[in-house]
Structure 1
Amino acid sequence: MGKTARVPRLTAVLAAAAAGAIALSGALPSSAAQPPEPIGSAMPGELAKAFETAATRYDVPREVLVGIGYAESHLDGHDGLPSQDNGYGVMHLAGNPTNPTMSEAAKLTGLPVEKLAKDSGSNIIGAAAVLDSYADKAGLQGSARKDLAKWYTVVAQYPHSADGPTARLYTDEVYRIIGLGVGAEGVTSAPKQVNPDRGSYANVAPLGTRTKASLAAADYPGAIWNPASASNYSVGRTSAVSTIVIHVTQGSYAGTISWFKNASAQVSAHYVVRSSDGQITQMVAEKDTAWHVRSANPYTIGIEHEGFVDQPSWFTDAMYRASAVLTKNIAERRGIPKDRAHIVGHNEVPGNDHTDPGPNWNWNYYMQLVNGGNPNPPTYNFTTYGSGVRVRSDAKVTAPIVATLAGPTQVFVVCQKQGDPVTAEGTTNNWWSKLRDQGGYMTNIYIDHPAAQLPGVPICT
């Protein structure tokens, strides 16, 4: 669902790894070796005071509150309108069959639901009260309350995710934001590098871990396979696929994945694309009918994009590029013309009342990318969370290893490169990530990891 577009108030800034993370001389642009910059831009305001008040009243670290708020909404309350899974406000207090944070906040604070939904200060107070109650139940007391690392398992409870991997996906994103720092909507939070205590989640494989089965299930080679609940789509098709539909999630990436896995959602899409780096998750096989555009479901493939229609900060270049290559891949595999008659917005499909992707979606740029009109190769953030990241001088396994990096490591890579088979995560594949060329003096460098968290980006042809 969408609403009237507003003037953009922030721009997401994605920083590369901190200085020293890449051991190769010249492996990254000099600008990428600088300390991470905060996300967005800031001016003093009432929202900042609300975070201070909530943090103090409920003894919840301000960085945790701001990190959750930015992950959920980019600190925008969206005028009290709900997300697709019935979440409200800056902190996404929700009321659905699996997420009771709105009712919990009302009970804990005594504030009415309408105020919690529409007043940003109250919404932040409500979220802090909920987190405080979860921390109490977890036995997080005294000085431990000040330790950001100790809050990981508490934060993981907040979204009431469908499963452990989705909860870890959500919580890792919150801690990524804490590490980068935030400057948006008048709120600033300095970068704080935290080595989180994941507790039981340390044994949960993050989404993106590939197996033989998941590699075989995905229609698009760059996608992470993570199926939606069987209650949210129909097996098979009654019509030939002829149209690709562009959606905006009206919520976060992790939240959307979790919602599609919730049997009560009664909605799904084939693909979900992350804002920060263009990671792609496939949730419904293309041979099956996702429920995303009512009567048009039988002949369409749906691609959801993380964000909100009224907030252009979510529509990053990484998202556009990753999505465009996905759309190009689908269209060429299925013989769908790469034009605006066959690649359409949700709002353009007859019989639908949604407004996404909305006026902030740049159709001209997107279609230029779909049709190969941009001469610059796409780049993506690539993050490995373990140590022992290997860098080779070629995609072949026989090529020399020129460096081994400590994790976590975040670098920019171009689209996947097909090379010789590599055994990782118990399966053998030929996926390598190619580092962005550095002006001719650092070219054809590839990165992998013994337990590779391969990014959801396309394979080069």
Structure 2
Amino acid sequence: MVGRALLAVVAAATLAGAAAGPAAAAAGRAPSAFDSAAARYDVPRDLLLSLGWAQSRLDQGAVGRGGDCGVMQLSVGRTLPVAEALTGLSRGDLCGSEAANVAGAAAVLRFYSDRDGLSSAARSDVNRWYGPVARFAGPVDDSIARLFADTVYDQLAAGFAGPARVAARPVAPERGRFEDVPAWGTASERSPDHPPAVWAPAHKDNYEVANREKSGPIDFVVIHVTQGSYAGTIAWFKNPESEVSAHYTFRSSDGAVTQSVREKDIGWHAANKDYNARSIGIEHEGFIENPAWFTDAMYRSSAALTRILTREYGIPRDRKHIIGHGEVPTADHTDPGPYWNWTYYLELVNGNFLKGTGIVDTPTGRLNVRGGPGTGSPVVGSVADGTKVTIFCQRAGSKVTGTFGTSTVWNRIGMDRWVSSTYLRTSQPGFIPRVPRC
């Protein structure tokens, strides 16, 4: 929580460019909201965008755990009160307007940078903002603060395309005191149950040590979506005020996994005492309203674990025993929501690692690869005529006329890499049987 003394300091702070007034809440979609906030608070625009991408995939409608809100996921217990004091805007404005939400986050980052003593010249160097970004994660372990900040900088280095585009570039963040904190997973204790996972135990008040003779066998796997970031979820399970935990959490970008509760013990994830006692809870980074979080890497890593769990505990590999949080009796949640691909997930759990293949056939010699399933998405690369590509999944997008006629079907051939089906020679035109829908 933000103390009164800190709020008093925040309220008195005078940032260059002045506190954001009503103009900061003016209507505007990315990148205009980010341009305005970056200029007002002298924060690197692409850093703001990378933070917003890591927090919400630039989705102003994202509502996180405990009411965290907007593109930047301003937190009720941390950044939102600071943003209110700095900008003079109400909580409703900061959560309801993208421009205000981004401005509020920029104000908070600038406040943190001033506390770190960053000069005007230093503020122009994106690598000098590591400390303020780590502090944006809130009062968490240094290891989780580093995980949070590294996620933002890794995304900045990789670049991305969406509501706004950030080009890939080399980064060399100045981590300061976090330099001596090992990167997540490099020196961390490994999971005692699932070796690929990092072991980061939940607070002892957030789960129950089980007596399996009393609690009975494990009969279910319960699938969740975090409504927040990977780092934030792990930190939430470590916070004794949360009174929640799940056994495992998977990261969207690469399928990395952290274990927070031993399988033999009872995680508090399903809001149903009986189901908690008889299940393994698996969280997946993202928001139920945005399918962009549900990557092939995360599906495959999670399904590999569920396949192991079902074998270990004799759980049938069907939808009666591998269920969503929203299917638990008395549950007040709806995750994993309408965009979770149950058909694909169960196929993976059952060992059917489905993919398709196609041969590029284009008269121009090279086929543009786009960042999304449509001609309006930015070009992120190209593939040569005659190249054999793997089709991970398919979805409908903009209509294209090409070598094989006219179609709205687009094929994902890599992470955020899409080509029209009209330029791929496949087993059949359009949607391919048993290749999953994205």
Normalized against structure 2, the TM-score is what? 0.72
After TM superposition, the runs of 4+ consecutive aligned structure 1 residues lying more than 6 A away are: none
The structure 2 residue matched to 1:159, chosen from 123, 131, 137, is 137
Q: What is aligned with 2:235?
A: 258
Q: Secondary structure at the match of 2:39?
A: helix
Contact 2:348 2:354 survives alignment (8 Å) = no
Q: Secondary structure at the match of 2:224?
A: strand
Give the Cα separation in 2 of the matches to 1:222 and 1:316: 18
Residue 376 of structure 1 deviates from its aligned partner by: 6.2
The structure 2 residue matched to 1:323, chosen from 302, 306, 309, is 302
Matches within 5 A, 1:117-266: 117-185=95-163, 187-210=164-187, 214-215=189-190, 217-237=191-211, 238-266=215-243
Q: What is aligned with 1:298?
A: 277
Q: What is aligned with 1:88?
A: 69
Q: What is aligned with 1:269?
A: 246
| Residue-by-residue CA offset, 1:273-325 (whole Å, 9 max, x unaligned) | 00000001000001111111122211111000000001000000000000000
| Residue-by-residue CA offset, 1:417-448 (whole Å, 9 max, x unaligned) | xxxxxxxxxxxxxxxxxxxxxxxxxxxxxxxx
Give the Cα separation in 1 of the matches to 2:266 and 2:183: 27
Contact 1:309 1:360 survives alignment (8 Å) = yes
Give the Cα separation in 2 of the matches to 1:102 and 1:375: 44
The structure 2 residue matched to 1:364, chosen from 332, 343, 360, is 343
Higher RCO structure, 1 or 2 (CA under 8 Å, sep 6+): 1
The reply on whether 1:67 has 2:41 as its aligned counterpart is no
Q: What is aligned with 1:440?
A: none
Give the Cα separation in 2 of the matches to 1:47 and 1:63: 11
Contact 1:220 1:329 survives alignment (8 Å) = no
Q: What is aligned with 1:354?
A: 333
Contact 2:237 2:244 survives alignment (8 Å) = yes
| Letter matched to residue 47 of structure 1 | A
Residues 169 and 362 of structure 1, relative CA distance in 2, 3 Å threshold: same
Q: Higher Cα Rg: structure 1 or 2?
A: 2
Q: Secondary structure at the match of 2:31?
A: helix
| Letter matched to residue 159 of structure 2 | G
Report how many residues are paired. 324
Give the Cα separation in 2 of the matches to 1:71 and 1:332: 34
Residues 178 and 240 of structure 1, relative CA distance in 2, 3 Å threshold: same
| Letter matched to residue 91 of structure 1 | M
User: C-alpha root-mean-square deviation of aligned residues, in Å?
Assistant: 1.5
Q: Secondary structure at the match of 1:93?
A: coil
| Residue-by-residue CA offset, 1:167-218 (whole Å, 9 max, x unaligned) | 1111111011111223212x1222221111111111001221346xx34x52
| Residue-by-residue CA offset, 1:116-138 (whole Å, 9 max, x unaligned) | 01111100000000001000000
Give the Cα separation in 1 of the matches to 2:176 and 2:276: 41
The reply on whether 1:280 has 2:257 as its aligned counterpart is yes
| Letter matched to residue 91 of structure 2 | V
Contact 1:232 1:266 survives alignment (8 Å) = yes
Structure 2 stretches of 5 or more lacking a match? 1-27, 357-438
| Letter matched to residue 202 of structure 2 | A
Q: Secondary structure at the match of 2:281?
A: strand
| Residue-by-residue CA offset, 1:342-387 (whole Å, 9 max, x unaligned) | 100111111102110111000000000000012669xxxxxxxxxx
Give the Cα separation in 1 of the matches to 2:141 and 2:271: 27
| Letter matched to residue 240 of structure 1 | P
Q: Secondary structure at the match of 1:47?
A: coil
| Residue-by-residue CA offset, 1:83-139 (whole Å, 9 max, x unaligned) | 11431100010013xxx2000000000000011011111000000000010000000
Give the Cα separation in 1 of the matches to 2:185 and 2:115: 31
The reply on whether 1:111 has 2:89 as its aligned counterpart is yes
Q: Secondary structure at the match of 1:248?
A: coil
| Residue-by-residue CA offset, 1:219-250 (whole Å, 9 max, x unaligned) | 11211111111111111142321100000000
| Letter matched to residue 169 of structure 1 | L
Deviates more, 1:310-319 or 1:157-166: 157-166
Give the Cα separation in 1 of the matches to 2:268 and 2:30: 37
Q: Secondary structure at the match of 1:88?
A: coil
Q: Percent identity?
A: 48
Residue 63 of structure 1 deviates from its aligned partner by: 1.3
Deviates more, 1:222-231 or 1:301-310: 222-231
Contact 1:276 1:319 survives alignment (8 Å) = yes
The reply on whether 1:51 has 2:34 as its aligned counterpart is yes
Contact 2:247 2:267 survives alignment (8 Å) = yes
Contact 2:29 2:98 survives alignment (8 Å) = no
Give the Cα separation in 1 of the matches to 2:266 and 2:82: 36
Contact 1:166 1:206 survives alignment (8 Å) = no
Q: Secondary structure at the match of 1:111?
A: coil
Contact 1:134 1:154 survives alignment (8 Å) = yes
| Letter matched to residue 169 of structure 2 | K
Give the Cα separation in 1 of the matches to 2:246 and 2:175: 30
Give the Cα separation in 2 of the matches to 1:109 and 1:294: 37
Give the Cα separation in 2 of the matches to 1:92 and 1:374: 35
Q: Secondary structure at the match of 1:361?
A: coil
Give the Cα separation in 2 of the matches to 1:195 and 1:207: 17
Q: What is aligned with 1:15?
A: none
Contact 1:161 1:255 survives alignment (8 Å) = no
Residues 338 and 196 of structure 1, relative CA distance in 2, 3 Å threshold: same
| Letter matched to residue 278 of structure 1 | G
Q: What is aligned with 2:20?
A: none
Give the Cα separation in 1 of the matches to 2:130 and 2:353: 41
Give the Cα separation in 2 of the matches to 1:146 and 1:356: 41
